[in-house]
Amino acid sequence: MTNHWVDIKNTDLVLIMGGNAAEAHPCGFKWVTEAKAHRKAKLIVVDPRFTRSAAVSDFYAPIRSGTDIAFLGGVINYLLSNDKIHHEYVKTYTDFSFLVKDEFAFNDGIYSGYNPEKRSYDKSSWGYQIGADGYVVTDPTLQNPRCVYQMMKAHYSRYTPEAVTNICGTPKDAFLKVCEMLAETSAPNKTMTIMYALGWTQHSYGSQMIRTGAMVQLLLGNIGAAGGGMNALRGHSNIQGLTDLGLLSNLLPGYMTLPSDAEQDYKAYIEKRAFKPLRPGQLSYWQNYNKFFVSTMKAWYGDAATAENNWAYDWLPKLDKGYDLLQVFENMNQGKVNGYLCQGFNPLASAPCKVKVSGSLAKLKYLVIIDPLATETSEFWQNHGEYNDVDPAKIQTEVFRLPSTCFAEEDGSLVSSSRVLQWHWKAAEPPGDAKGDQEIMAGIFLRLRELYKKDGGAFPDPILNLTWKHRQPHAPSPEELAKEYSGRALKDVTDPKDPAKVLVKAGEQLNGFAELRDDGSTICGCWIFSGAWSEKGNLMARRDNSDPFGMGQTLNWAFAWPANRRVLYNRASCDPGGKPYDPTRKLIAWDAATGKWGGSDIPDFKPDSPPGDGMNPFIMNPEGVARFFAVDKMAEGPFPEHYEPMESPLANNPMHPKNALARSNPAARVFKEDWATFGKPDQFPYVGTTYRLTEHFHFWTKHVRLNAILQPEQFVEIGEDLAKEKGIKAGDHVRVKSNRGFIVAVAVVTKRLRTLDVDGKKVHTVGMPIHWGFMGLAKNGYITNTLTPFVGDANTQTPEFKSFLVNIEKV
Instruction: Give the H/E segment covering residue 734.
Output: strand 733-738
User: Which of 141, 385, 498, 545 is close enough to bind other proteins by CB under 8 A?
Assistant: 545
Please report how close the Cβ of residue 142 comes to other proteins at its closest, in angstroms: 38
Phi, psi for 44 (deg, rounded to 5): -115, 135
User: Which of 184, 314, 721, 725 is close enough to bind other proteins by CB under 8 A?
Assistant: 314
Please report how close the Cβ of residue 806 comes to other proteins at its closest, in angstroms: 20
The secondary structure of residue 185, as a DSSP letter, is G
Contacts of 462 by beta carbon, 8 Å cutoff, 6+ apart: 301, 312, 315
Q: Could you give the CA distance from residue 462 to residue 200 in angstroms, rounded to a whole number?
A: 39
Please report how close the Cβ of residue 45 comes to other proteins at its closest, in angstroms: 19
User: Which of 214, 278, 526, 716 is close enough to bind other proteins by CB under 8 A?
Assistant: 526
User: Which of 443, 576, 614, 654 is close enough to bind other proteins by CB under 8 A?
Assistant: 443
Q: Is 701 in the site for other proteins (CB under 8 A)?
A: yes
Positions 550 through 589 that interact with other proteins (CB under 8 A): 552, 554, 557
Q: Could you give the CA distance from residue 480 to residue 33 in angstroms, rounded to a whole number?
A: 40
- Alpha helix stretches (DSSP H) within 655-729: 705-710, 720-726
Phi, psi for 557 (deg, rounded to 5): -100, 115
Q: CA 361, 367, 371 angle in degrees (round to 5)?
A: 110
Q: Could you give the CA distance from residue 702 to residue 690 in angstroms, rounded to a whole number?
A: 17
User: Which of 117, 386, 389, 433 is close enough to bind other proteins by CB under 8 A?
Assistant: 433
User: Which of 37, 262, 660, 811 is close enough to bind other proteins by CB under 8 A?
Assistant: 262
Please report how close the Cβ of residue 540 comes to other proteins at its closest, in angstroms: 9
Phi, psi for 726 (deg, rounded to 5): -100, 0
User: Which of 189, 243, 287, 494 is close enough to bind other proteins by CB under 8 A?
Assistant: 243
Q: Are strands 596-599 and 588-591 parallel, antiparallel or unpaired?
A: antiparallel
Burial of 386 (0-12, 13-18, 19+ CB in 10 A): exposed
Positions 128 through 187 that interact with other proteins (CB under 8 A): none
> Is the Cβ of residue 59 or residue 345 nearer to other proteins in the bound state?
345
Candidates 204-212, 598-606, 693-701, 759-767 — which segment interacts with other proteins by CB under 8 A?
693-701
Instruction: Give the H/E segment covering residue 690.
Output: strand 686-691
Task: Specify whether the CB–CB gap between 645 and 203 falls below 8 A.
Answer: yes
Please report how close the Cβ of residue 322 comes to other proteins at its closest, in angstroms: 9
The Cβ-side half-sphere exposure at 57, using a 13 Å CA radius, reads: 25
Q: Is 308 in the site for other proteins (CB under 8 A)?
A: no
Q: Is 287 in the site for other proteins (CB under 8 A)?
A: no
What secondary structure, in 3-state letters, does 597-624 show? EEECCCCCCCCCCCHHHCCCCECCCCCE
Count of residues that bind other proteins according to CB under 8 A:
164
Contacts of 622 by beta carbon, 8 Å cutoff, 6+ apart: 275, 276, 277, 278, 279, 282, 284, 286
Candidates 112-120, 274-282, 546-554, 745-753 — which segment interacts with other proteins by CB under 8 A?
546-554
Positions 75 through 114 that interact with other proteins (CB under 8 A): none
> Taken in order 794, 798, 803, 804, is the CA torsion positive or negative?
positive
Positions 209 through 238 that interact with other proteins (CB under 8 A): 233-238
User: Which of 37, 130, 247, 355 is close enough to bind other proteins by CB under 8 A?
Assistant: 247
Distance of CA 734 to the CA centre of its chain: 34
Phi, psi for 16 (deg, rounded to 5): -105, 115
Candidates 50-58, 633-641, 668-676, 698-706 — which segment interacts with other proteins by CB under 8 A?
698-706
Q: Could you give the CA distance from residue 547 to residue 549 in angstroms, rounded to a whole number?
A: 6
Helix (H, G, I), strand (E, B) or coil at 810: strand
| Cβ atoms within 10 Å of 702's Cβ, excluding its own | 26
> Is the Cβ of residue 139 or residue 793 nearer to other proteins in the bound state?
793
Please report how close the Cβ of residue 587 comes to other proteins at its closest, in angstroms: 17
Amino acid at 575: D
Please report how close the Cβ of residue 532 comes to other proteins at its closest, in angstroms: 9
> Is the Cβ of residue 695 or residue 720 nearer to other proteins in the bound state?
695
> Is the Cβ of residue 336 or residue 733 nearer to other proteins in the bound state?
336
Q: Is 403 in the site for other proteins (CB under 8 A)?
A: yes
Burial of 188 (0-12, 13-18, 19+ CB in 10 A): middle
Binding mask 608-637 for other proteins (x = CB under 8 A): ------------------------------
Please report how close the Cβ of residue 741 comes to other proteins at its closest, in angstroms: 18
Q: Is 124 in the site for other proteins (CB under 8 A)?
A: no
Q: Which residues of 125-144 are buried (b: 16+ CB within 10 A; e: fewer)?
A: bbbbbeeeeebbbbbeeeeb
Candidates 41-49, 423-431, 717-725, 740-748 — which segment interacts with other proteins by CB under 8 A?
423-431
Please report how close the Cβ of residue 611 comes to other proteins at its closest, in angstroms: 32
Please report how close the Cβ of residue 387 comes to other proteins at its closest, in angstroms: 16
Q: Is 715 in the site for other proteins (CB under 8 A)?
A: no
Q: Is 498 in the site for other proteins (CB under 8 A)?
A: no
Please report how close the Cβ of residue 234 comes to other proteins at its closest, in angstroms: 4
Q: Could you give the CA distance from residue 386 to residue 594 in angstroms, rounded to a whole number?
A: 72
Q: Is 776 in the site for other proteins (CB under 8 A)?
A: yes
User: Which of 254, 476, 599, 773 is close enough to bind other proteins by CB under 8 A?
Assistant: 476
Please report how close the Cβ of residue 306 comes to other proteins at its closest, in angstroms: 17
Distance of CA 581 to the CA centre of its chain: 29
Q: Could you give the CA distance from residue 569 to residue 222 in angstroms, rounded to a whole number?
A: 10
User: Which of 273, 318, 491, 735 is close enough to bind other proteins by CB under 8 A?
Assistant: 318
| Cα–Cα nearest to 791, from 343, 330, 148 | 330
Positions 659 through 688 that interact with other proteins (CB under 8 A): none
> Is the Cβ of residue 348 or residue 753 nearer to other proteins in the bound state?
348
> Is the Cβ of residue 311 or residue 618 nearer to other proteins in the bound state?
311
Phi, psi for 534 (deg, rounded to 5): -105, -170
Q: Is 268 in the site for other proteins (CB under 8 A)?
A: no
Q: Is 203 in the site for other proteins (CB under 8 A)?
A: no
Q: Is 425 in the site for other proteins (CB under 8 A)?
A: yes
Task: Specify whether the CB–CB gap between 677 and 790 falls below 8 A.
Answer: yes
Positions 341 through 400 that interact with other proteins (CB under 8 A): 341-345, 347, 350-351, 365-366, 368, 370-374, 381-383, 392-400
Q: Could you give the CA distance from residue 108 to residue 657 in angstroms, rounded to a whole number?
A: 9
Instruction: Give the H/E segment covering residue 449.
Output: helix 437-455
Q: Is 303 in the site for other proteins (CB under 8 A)?
A: no
Positions 7 through 36 that interact with other proteins (CB under 8 A): 24-28, 30-31
Q: Could you give the CA distance from residue 506 to residue 523 in angstroms, rounded to a whole number?
A: 11
Q: Is 127 in the site for other proteins (CB under 8 A)?
A: no
User: Which of 293, 529, 569, 639 is close enough to bind other proteins by CB under 8 A?
Assistant: 529
> Is the Cβ of residue 300 or residue 643 nearer to other proteins in the bound state?
300
User: Which of 424, 726, 735, 762 is close enough to bind other proteins by CB under 8 A?
Assistant: 424
User: Which of 78, 93, 289, 340 is close enough to bind other proteins by CB under 8 A?
Assistant: 340
Please report how close the Cβ of residue 656 comes to other proteins at its closest, in angstroms: 29
Instruction: Give the H/E segment covering residue 719.
Output: strand 715-719
Please report how close the Cβ of residue 619 comes to other proteins at its closest, in angstroms: 25
User: Which of 142, 163, 174, 434 is close enough to bind other proteins by CB under 8 A?
Assistant: 434
> Is the Cβ of residue 241 or residue 637 nearer to other proteins in the bound state?
241
- Alpha helix stretches (DSSP H) within 456-497: 461-465, 478-486
